[in-house]
Structure formats: structure tokens, C-alpha cells
Chains A and B, each alone.
Chain A
């Protein structure tokens, strides 16, 4: 094999690759925030006394979890304009990531809520707190703690899924690297570098999650 490695195009493209990493972080973090809101909101609606709302959540979760993420992005990007909603690639990607991650987060967080003993809810009610207060002040934190490892891996997955947003040319690492690759034909060098960048991004995400865990979920349990 006579291939000579030449990282020159990668080195020349480094500034744009690094700023594309920030684009990836931006998509991932916005996507996670939206997914968390959808996840917690979905769990609340899933417990609603109104049957229609419960079914809405169940239907949402089933549809999202049983269709490809790429199709979901295309759907939002190409189908919504037909309904008069026109969004740029980056907001589209954030919404798609949030919706997709949110559907998984609903199921994960729901598992956490179910793992909290009924006695916690009863103790809160007996103290005169409303159901919503009990959920927010008593149930939520221990529930999130219980499923924090699963939520972390789901959100690392969400971070990596940002690369699929390259299909609609959202500003992130994969689409920028595709551009450098097609200008230079240095496929191996470019994707080797991008692989390393994604590893670092995942690692940083896990550190961020570990930081929050130490900050918020470090109370002792038996």
C-alpha cells in the first residue's frame, strides 16, 4: 500500500473544524435542554387524569421511537414548510434532536418516577402539599438520580446523533468535515481527525454530566 498520509488539508481546515465542534456542542446542548423539558413534561402528561393526554404522549413516544431519526429530520425540514413553517437547518436540527431525545427521555424518566416508593407521594400529600408540588419538590430529584446513568448515555447518543443533521447541512462537525474532505479528497485523514474529535466531545459531555451528578445528586442514600 502506497498511500502517503497528508494532514495538510486537515491542518489548514483546523480552525473551521474546531469551530464546527462548537456547532456540534451547541446543537447537542440545545437538543438536550429541549429533550429534558419534553421528557419531564411528557412524564407529567403521561400521568394526567385526562385520558386523551395520556394517549397523546404514548402515541408520540411510539412514533418517534419506531421511526428513523434521519427521516424525522427530513420530515421537519421538508414537510413543515408545506404547513407554512419554514426553519433554518440549525433550529430544525435542534427541534429534531429535542423531539427524538425527548421521546426516549420520557420513557427513561418515567421509569425513574415509578421507582420512587408510593410512600414519598403519600408523605408529601399528608403534609398538605399539592400533587404538582409533590412531583416537583419530592419525586423529581430522586427519580432523576435513579435514572441518571441511563439518561447520560441517552444524551451522549443524542450528542453523536448531531452528525445526522449534516444531511440538512446544519452547522456541525460532520458537515464541515465533509466539505473539507470533498475539497481535498483526504478522506482517511479527515475522518480520522473527526473521529478523535467526536471521542473528545463525548468525553467532555460525560464530564459535564458527572459534574452535575456530583453537584445535585450526591446526597447519601442507604
Chain B
């Protein structure tokens, strides 16, 4: 590879994980994980319960420390210095299964908190940004309400807006629709699809295979803490290479 190619490669990759290993005590939760995510790429991560999906994406913003290998986000080596961890967290948004909105703050305040306190944005700027993004997730009329006054779907859309208020370069989703009543799944998926269409780099842990087909550039299948296979969705669903993938797809698609 020429020097230029290496550089292009490096600047193109939003996230690179090389040989990542992660232990909880004596239990190894991730084995030698290699993933490269290019800027603007959308990845869907799936696999059986306990396979390490959450662990993997939580390593990317260092909610979990990893012990082996290397993770780079936007070129920054995510080591264990709090300075890089902070810098990476400001560039990486995360949406959780349980929404995790702050109950004592209104929707607007939820969205303004981090831009003001972590980015040092002025209140007025933060509010303008928050209102803009609440508009984008179609929930601006709820800005003065508290989380407990919203439906699950609305809460999750606020959580997406809150993460976007940091203007992240990457968004991580950990089963964002699993805690929702079925009738609310679509509004959240539509929000995510819109975000994908705007070119956001995304890693989504989800079992919504319709979403994967429509949005993903690649589907990555994990089992027992290791990546088993990865492929573009059409190929992944029509022609899975491994027995474990076939079994998993049988279970998950059979359910729908």
C-alpha cells in the first residue's frame, strides 16, 4: 500500500477496532474483535443474547474498558487517559434501550445539559440547537414536558435528539426499540432511518431485520464474544455462511 492510500484509509475510517479483547473478571466477553467503520457507514450488529453486542459498542465510548487490542475513533486512540475518553465521548452519541432520560429535567433541559456543561455552549445557543433537533425528531411541542409525561416512543426520540445535540460524528444504538410497545417501534425506526439518510455514521444493535435490510451497509453477526460473519444485508440474509448465523436467522425471522 502506498503512503497516500494508508492516509486515505485512516481518514476515511471513523472507527477501527483491532484485535480487541475484553474481560469481566475472568470471563472473556470479547475475543479478538476487528471492525472498521467508514465515515457515513451504517452497521447493524446482531447476535444471540449474551453474545457481547452491548459490550462491544460500550467499548467504543469507553463505558467499558477493554484490555487488549486497540480502538480508534475519528483517528483518536481510545486508551485509558481521561482526556481522550472525554474527547471521544463528545464525538460519539449513544442511545440506550431504556432511554435513560433525566427525570428531573424537562425535554428541553435534557437536550441542553451536555452542550452547556460539556461543550461550554451558551444557554441561548444550546436552546436553539435543542429546539432544532427536537423539531427534527418531530417532538418540538413536548419541549417543556418531563420525561415521565411522554410515551416510550417519544422518550426514545428525545434521547436521540439529546445525543444529536452534541453534534456527534458517530451514533451508537443499543437495542433502541426493544423496550417499546410494538406500536411505537416504527416512529423510532423512522427517526433512525432519517438520520441514516442524512449520512450519519451509525452502529445499531437491533433485531429489527427490516431496518437492517433498508439501512445497513453491513450486518455483523456475533456469537460468544466474537464476530462470526459480516456481509451486506442482501447477502447476509439470503446466503449466510455459518451454521450459527443460519440458526440465529431461523429463530429471529421465524419469530416475525
- For B86, the chain A residues whose CB sits under 8 A away are 128, 130
Complex CA gap A126/B171 in Å reads: 11
Determine if A128 and B146 form an interchain contact, defined as CB atoms under 8 angstroms apart.
Answer: no
A129: nearest chain-B partner, CB-CB? B118
Given the complex of chains A and B, what is the CA–CA distance between A220 and B98 in angstroms? Answer: 18
The smallest C-beta distance from B222 to any residue of chain A, in angstroms, reads: 21
Q: Which residue of chain B is the closest to A127 with respect to CB atoms?
A: B114
Contact with B along A136-152 (1 / 0, CB 8 A): 01100110010000000
Q: Would A120 and B102 be within 8 Å (CB), given that A126-B89, A220-B146 are in contact?
A: yes
Report the minimal beta-carbon distance from B171 to chain A, rounded to whole angstroms.
Answer: 11
Contact A220 B148 (CB under 8 A): yes
Measured between alpha carbons, how far is A220 from B100 in the docked complex, in Å?
A: 15
Knowing A219-B103, A221-B148 touch, does A128 contact B114 (C-beta < 8 A)?
yes
Contact B118 A128 (CB under 8 A): yes
Q: Are A127 and B148 in contact (CB under 8 A)?
A: no
Inter-chain contact A141/B100, CB cutoff 8 Å: no
Interface residue? B117 (CB, 8 A):
yes
Interface centre among A127, A141, A142, A221 (most CB of B within 10 A): A127
On whether A221 and B103 interact (CB within 8 A), knowing A119-B98, A127-B89, A129-B117, the answer reads yes
Residues on A with C-beta less than 8 A from B103 are 142, 219, 221
A62 at the interface (CB under 8 A from B): no
Task: Provide the bound-state CA to CA distance between A122 and B94, in Å.
Answer: 10
Chain A, Cβ-Cβ closest to B102: A138
Residues of chain A contacted by B90 (CB below 8 angstroms): 128
B100 and A119 form a contact (CB under 8 A): yes
Q: Is the CB of B100 within 8 A of A122?
A: yes
Query: Is B63 a contact partner of A122 (Cβ separation < 8 A)?
Result: yes
Enumerate B121-170 residues with CB–CB distance to A below 8 Å. 146, 148-149, 159, 162-163, 166
B96 within 8 A of A: yes
Q: Is the CB of A126 within 8 A of B117?
A: no
Rounded to whole Å, the gap between the CB of B88 and the closest CB of chain A is: 9
Any A CB within 8 A of the CB of B104: yes
Known contacts A145-B104, A220-B148; decide if A126 and B118 are in contact (CB<8 Å).
no
Among A120, A125, A128, the one with the most B-chain Cβ atoms within 10 Å of its Cβ is A128
- Known contacts A127-B114, A129-B114: does B104 contact A142 (CB below 8 Å)? yes
Chain B residue at smallest Cβ distance from A140: B104
B96 touches A125 (CB 8 A): no
B119 touches A128 (CB 8 A): yes
User: Quick check: A133 and B98 within 8 Å, CB to CB?
Assistant: no
* A127 to B90 CA separation, bound complex (whole angstroms): 6
- In the bound assembly, the distance between CA atoms of A191 and B90 in angstroms comes to 63
Contacts A126-B89, A129-B118 given: A117-B166 contact, CB under 8 Å?
A: no
Min CB distance, A74 to chain B, in Å? Answer: 42
Residue from A122, A123, A133, A222 with most neighbouring chain B CB atoms (10 Å): A123
Q: Which residue of A lies closest to B87 (CB)?
A: A128
0 or 1 for each of A195-222: is its CB under 8 Å from B? (1 = yes): 0000000000000000000000001111
CA distance A141 to B109 in the complex (A): 14
Query: Interface code B95-119, partner A: CB below 8 Å = 1, 0 otherwise?
Result: 0101011111000000001100111
CB neighbours of B119 from chain A (8 A): 128
Q: Which residue of A lies closest to B114 (CB)?
A: A127
Of B96, B104, B117, B118, which is within 8 A of A119 by CB? B96
Nearest-neighbour CB distance to chain B for A120, whole angstroms, equals: 6
B225 close to chain A: CB less than 8 A: no
Known: A117-B98, A125-B63, A126-B63. A220 touches B93 (CB 8 A): no
Q: A117-B98, A127-B118, A221-B148 known; 7 other A-B pairs, CB under 8 Å?
A: A126-B61, A126-B163, A127-B89, A129-B118, A133-B117, A138-B102, A138-B113
Question: Can you pick out 5 interface pairs between chain A and chain B where the beta carbons lie within 8 Å of each other?
Answer: A123-B102, A126-B163, A127-B166, A130-B86, A219-B103
Identify the A interface with B (CB < 8 A). Answer: 117, 119-120, 122-130, 133, 137-138, 141-142, 145, 219-222
Which residues does B use to contact A, with CB under 8 Å?
A: 61, 63, 86, 89-90, 92-94, 96, 98, 100-104, 113-114, 117-119, 146, 148-149, 159, 162-163, 166
Q: Lowest 10 CB-CB distances: which A-B pairs, in order?
A: A127-B114, A123-B100, A128-B118, A128-B90, A126-B94, A119-B100, A128-B89, A220-B148, A141-B104, A222-B148
